[in-house]
Each structure stands twice: as structure tokens, then as C-alpha cells.
Structure 1
Amino acid sequence: MSGSGLVFSADLAPLRDKVIAVIGYGNQGEAQAKALRDSGLNVIVGNARDEYRSKAERDGFKVYDIPEAAARADVIMLLLPDEVQPGVFKDIESAVGSRGVVLDFASGYNVAFGLIRPPSSWDVVMVAPRMIGAGILELHSRGRGYPVLVGVANDSSGRAWDYALAIAQGIGAIGRPGGAAVKVTFKQEALIDLLDEHTNWPLILASFMAFFDVATEEYGVPPEAVLLEMYASGEMAEVASQMATMGAFEQLRLHSTTSQYGQLSRAFRFYGEVRRIVEDEARQIWLGDFAREWALEQLAGRPKFQALWEAARSLTMARAEEGLFRALSRR
């Protein structure tokens, strides 16, 4: 570990004699299972009888129903969607019984907000990649790592941190160029994950919506020109890529001085108002208000979720985007 608190490599020894059950062979499950196997570890898959199970079998894994996989495992990696995990966890807990196991999450959400309460006799760890599954596989093929957040919610054995970091090493996050792990709590991971989804992206979407309406309705700019300027040209993706390489501020030097001045002056001008939004959202997340809101929405059958999608699809901007992307042969 460096003085900055980043962990760059770990020992795989804690996992060498373990049976690792990857529960769920979706986005993260496939990527992490393959990387762990390539690291020489004993990996099985637990999955429902669906197309993901068939894919895991085609990929050469021994695949079992989820309770049986859990019963066979020493390390259980619960890589199903957050909203599915609580129901599945009941079956896992029953299958494991009184044994002590290592339970790994790729997100702190369910443990942080009390939706899953593992037994005190289990080691409960979190290895949360900051990379989508396809990105993990692509980087893994090139021998490169990626950022990951690691945490421990329960250290029954006294070796939970060793297990967490060994998993990070096994999935190729650390121990390779470009990889680093940062230690956080489950709740801190859940906070920043949700806060990104509740502030950065919604503010960008809201900005696009307002930008489009003002430019087209009040100034008569063709919709196609507005969409291309905002993101459809791919320039925004390139800027984001440069942010990841150079940093949010240093990449500004790649822009004209007019652009640099406009971005910096307005960023500082808007900061106070945006900070108030971020503080309010962070408070709601930390206190569990959002977790309760989302749980109730799911129990009700997701009516608001569906209404929001309908509202988004009905926007003039969405219809214009559909036409532009068809004209550009992207759909």
C-alpha cells in the first residue's frame, strides 16, 4: 500500500484452497468468474435455469442451482442485481447453515441499508469494481487492471481484509498496471455510487433537456445541430475519456481559451446552487430515505418508474434523437 491509501497488489493465497461460488452469471458475474478462473482459482457458478446458466455451462463452468452452489462454497460472491439479492439471500443463508463462509458483494447497498443482514459468524466483504463487466473482460485480456473499492462489514475470522484484497487480485483489478483498490465502508460505497446517479447524471440530463428546449424553441436552432453539439457527435465522450486520463481540470487545456474561460467561470458561478442539490441528495441517501423510496416503488409494481420512462420517451428531444440516429444509421 502506498502512502495515499491505495492498494496495488495482494496475495491470492487466502483463496487457493477455497471453492468460490459466483452467484449470477450476468454482467459482473461472467467477467469476475472468468478472471478468477484465469487466476487459477476453483470457481463454480450458481444461477437460475435461464439463458445465463446455459452461457456459463458453454463457457466451461460447473453450474448449480443457487442453494446448491452456496452449500458447496467457501466463498460466495453475490453478483445479482441489488433488487434481486434480498430474496435470493434467504435461500443462500438456509443452504449454508451454521458454517462460516466469506460473503462478497459488488455493491454496499443492501448491507448498508439493512436489506440483507448476514450472520455474525460470516466474513462479509465488498469488492466493488469501478468498471462494467465488458470493460473488465477487455482489460483482463490486455493484462491491465482497473479501480475497485473494497470494504469489510464483518470480520469473523480475522482475515476478512485478506479475503477482500485477494478477490480484488483474483478478478484482475489489482496486481496489474492501471489497477488500484481503495478501502471504504459499505455505506460510503453506497453513498458515492448513488450520489453519482442522483446528481452528476441527472444534472447532465436536465441540462441537455433545457439546452435542447431553449435552443430549438426560443432561437430556432435545428434539433439535429443541437443534439450533435451536446453529445451525438461523440465529442463529449472524447472529453470524458480525456478526463479519465488527464483529470477534469487539466483536460481543459485541450480546449480553446474561450472554452476554458467559459467552463471555469460558470462552474464557479453555479457551484453554490449545485452544492445545495448534492448536499440534499447525499442526506437523503445516507439516512436511507432513497432505499425506502425504491423499496416501496418495487413493492407497488414500479408505477412511477414506468411513468418516468413514458415521460422521457414523449419528450421532443427524445423524438428528435430517434430521427437523427436513424438518419446516421445508428439505429
Structure 2
Amino acid sequence: MARIYKDKDADTSVLRDKTIAVLGYGIQGRSWALNMRDSGLRVIIGVRPGKSMELARQEGFEVYPVGEAVKRADVIAVLLPDMAQPEVWRSEIEGNLRRGATVIFAHGFNIRFGLIKPPEYVDVVLIAPKAPGKAVREEFQRGWGVPALVAVHQNFTGNALKTALAVAKANGFTRVGVIETTFAEETETDLIGEQNVLVGGLLQLLKYGFEVMVELGYQPEVAYFEAINEAKLIMDLIWERGLTGMLLGVSETARYGGLTVGPYVLDESVKERMKKAAERVRNGEFAKEWVAEYQKGAPRLRELLEGIRNSQVERVGEELRRMMRGGA
């Protein structure tokens, strides 16, 4: 069974006399910074010049260039975009780290695949909230929180986990529960889930469901509602009640049709291809491919995104969403 930490397992007093630098003031960084400040911790912001810098200042934080913030901090939360982190690490973070500092990542990608190699004289931990930054802040403000994962990659001081749990508590994560994991498990499951289900698999399933009905002669607008719009309602039921609860929340006809036809459409061959895709994550092939793509300026990603943007399903969806919002 997984080890799950709650409020009683964490003590924010270990951070009482420490300075926490949040690097990046995007949705996740802003939420962490505001939450930790509201929890009574000393938080400073490290950002590059731009709108984020001005917003952080307007919201009352001391704001510094990234390198200067790192110099001043005992705890550094690296909440910059994943693919920007390695260059910023080399140019502004690594050389300014204090001995015994704690470095926090919210996703393990750069550590897992060796794009960032921290010096041995710092603690390196993972705190990965399982929700978007907007929810991290909103749930904290209502007195609750979102679940998170925690891991220790490097424990130089012997207190890495205590520090990580204290930061997690200051963000409200331990109110719900923080699951202990590893950098490898968090990174690999995150990528595998995104590719096989949440972004890749789901998008392709919805798109094919729409296209099949249109190719059979049904109106695109009707096909969109049946294949895509109602998917949110089903996911809401799963989120609220689980798989069985969802099945009990739809009609008997939908229940029988879904349980008998679903395994025919998505058979064992799909599962085998999912395993092959997962293996590309585990052996580093995907990371190598993505890093090379990013370094070229992501031309293939732009092409694929443009293909979705210009597809019939997107044009129909845009019209229907405008209609449901009360537009013309």
C-alpha cells in the first residue's frame, strides 16, 4: 500500500526561519507563493523580466532575478516551464545554490532523464500537485486542498522529506493526502497517462467517434454532442462516483451497450500498443525525441496542433460552444 502523509505528519515550523524562493510566477508558481505566504512563511519570487515580474510585485512580493533569488533562499521551488528549466539551471540556479539548500521540483522530468544533475550538497525533492495551479489556489482558499505526490531524490541534510512535507502542508496538500513516490514513478506515470489516456488516447477517441458518425451521414452538430460534449458529463460522473457509479448513473441501454461494445472497439491490441508507448517513456526514447523536437523549435508539434485547430470537429465545436454561451 502507498504511504500517505496527512497534516499530522508535517510540521511547517521547520521552515519558520527560512526563505523560500519560488522561481516562476505563472499559474502554479503564483498559487504556491500565495498559499505559502498565507501559511506564514517568508516567500520571495525569482523571475525573468516581464508581466509575471510586475504581477508579483503588485501582489506584494519581493522580486529578484532568478540567480539572486536562489542566492537568498534556503528552499527553492523550481516552477518554471519544464523545457526551460535545464538552461536556467545551468545559467542562473546551480552556481547560486547554498550548501544544504532544498530544491523542489513539481515534475520529475528533468531529473529522471538527466537533463538536470544537481550538485551533491543540496537536498532534491519532488512535490507534484495532482491538479492545475488554479485549483491549488482555490482549494487552499476554501480551507481544503488538492492531493499531491512527494519524493526524495537526494537527502544531503537528512531532513529532505521533512522539508518537503512542510512545504506540502503550507500549500494545503496534506489536508487531502500526499502520496510517497519516486521521481521515476511520478515522471513515467505522468507521461504514460498523458499519452495513452488523458491527452493522446482521449483526444483520438473523441475525434474518431465524431468522424465515424459524420462519415455515416449524421449531422456534424449532432455527432459533436454525442461523441464529445457529453463526454464531460460522463467524466464528471466517474470523478464523483467511480466507474461503477458512472455505469449506475446512465441508462440500462447505455450500460449494456458500453460494457459489450467498448471492449470490441478498444481491444487487447490497443492495450499492447499502450504498453509499447509506455516502454518508450520508460527507456527514455520519448524524452530524447521531445528534447530534440523542442530544440528545433517544435515544428512537428506546431504542425500537429494546426491540424487539430483546422479540423471539422473543432470548427463545429467552436460554433456549438458559442451557441451554448449565448452567442450568435
Equivalent residues in 2 for 1:59-78 (5 A)? 59-78=59-78
Which residue does the alignment assign to 2:16? 16
Residue 253 in structure 1 maps to residue 248 in structure 2: yes
Within the candidate set 171, 190, 195, 1:193 is matched to 190
User: Which deviates further from its counterpart, 293-302 or 264-273?
Assistant: 264-273
Percent identity between the aligned chains? Answer: 36
Q: Is the 8 A contact 1:128 1:150 kept in 2?
A: yes
Map of 1:95 onto structure 2: 96
Q: Do structure 1's residue 265 and structure 2's residue 265 form an aligned pair? A: no
Q: Distance in 1 between matches of 2:235 and 2:32?
A: 26
Letter aligned with residue 5 of structure 1: R
- Aligned AA for 2:246? Q
**Aligned residue number for residue 6 of structure 1:** 4
Q: 2:299 aligns with which of 286, 291, 303?
A: 303
- Report if aligned partners of 2:135, 2:146 keep a CA contact under 8 Å in 1: no
Q: Which residue of 1 aligns with 2:210?
A: 212
Contact 1:108 1:190 in 2 (8 A): yes
1:199, 1:277 within 8 Å by CA — same for their partners in 2?
Answer: no
Task: Give the aligned partner of residue 286 of structure 2.
Answer: 290
Deviation for aligned residue 1:267: 4.0
Q: CA 1:120–1:271 in structure 2 vs 1: closer, same or farther (change >3 Å)?
A: farther
Compute the displacement of 1:194 (Å): 0.6
Aligned to 1:224: 221
Q: Which residue of 2 aligns with 1:184?
A: 181
Aligned pair partner of 2:320 in 305, 314, 324: 324
TM-score by length of 2: 0.94
User: What is the rounded CA distance, in whole Å, between the counterparts of 1:257 and 1:191 in structure 2?
Assistant: 37
Give me the CA root mean square deviation. Answer: 1.6
Q: Distance in 2 between matches of 1:103 and 1:330?
A: 47
Secondary structure (helix, strand or coil) at the match of 1:247 reads: helix
Secondary structure of the 2:82 match is coil
Q: TM-score, normalising length from structure 1?
A: 0.93
Q: Is the 8 A contact 1:78 1:103 kept in 2?
A: yes
Does the alignment pair 1:278 with 2:274?
yes
SS in 2 for 1:127: strand
Q: Is the 8 A contact 1:130 1:147 kept in 2?
A: yes
Residue 196 of structure 1, CA deviation: 1.4
User: Within 1, Cα distance between the matches of 2:75 and 2:61?
Assistant: 16
1:258 Cα deviation after fit: 1.7
Distance 2:68 2:326 in 1: 44
Matched, 1:52 2:52: yes
Give how far 1:312 is off. Answer: 1.4
Q: What amino acid is the match of 2:190?
A: D
In the aligned structure 1, how far is the partner of 2:252 from the partner of 2:225? Answer: 22
Q: Secondary structure at the match of 2:107?
A: coil
Could you tell me how far apart the structure 1 residues matched to 2:298 and 2:135 are? 30
Specify the code of the residue in structure 2 equivalent to 1:183: E
Local SS of the residue matching 1:40: coil
Please report how far the alpha carbon of residue 92 of structure 1 lies from its aligned counterpart in structure 2 after TM superposition: 0.7
Aligned residues: 322
The whole-number CA distance in structure 2 between the counterparts of 1:266 and 1:214 is 15
Give the C-alpha shift of residue 163 in structure 1: 1.1
Show structure 1 runs of 5+ residues with no match: none
User: 1:236 and 1:141 mapped to 2: Cα distance?
Assistant: 29
What letter corresponds to residue 264 of structure 1 in structure 2?
Answer: L
Q: Comparing 15-24 with 309-318, which one deviates more in the overlay?
A: 309-318
Distance (Å, rounded) in 2 between the aligned partners of 1:5 and 1:267: 34
Structure 1 counterpart of 2:309, from 293, 310, 313: 313
Matches within 5 A, 1:155-194: 155-174=155-174, 176=175, 179-194=176-191
Question: What is the distance in 1 between the residues matched to 2:273 and 2:165?
Answer: 35
CA distance, structure 2, for counterparts of residue 198 and residue 302 of structure 1: 17
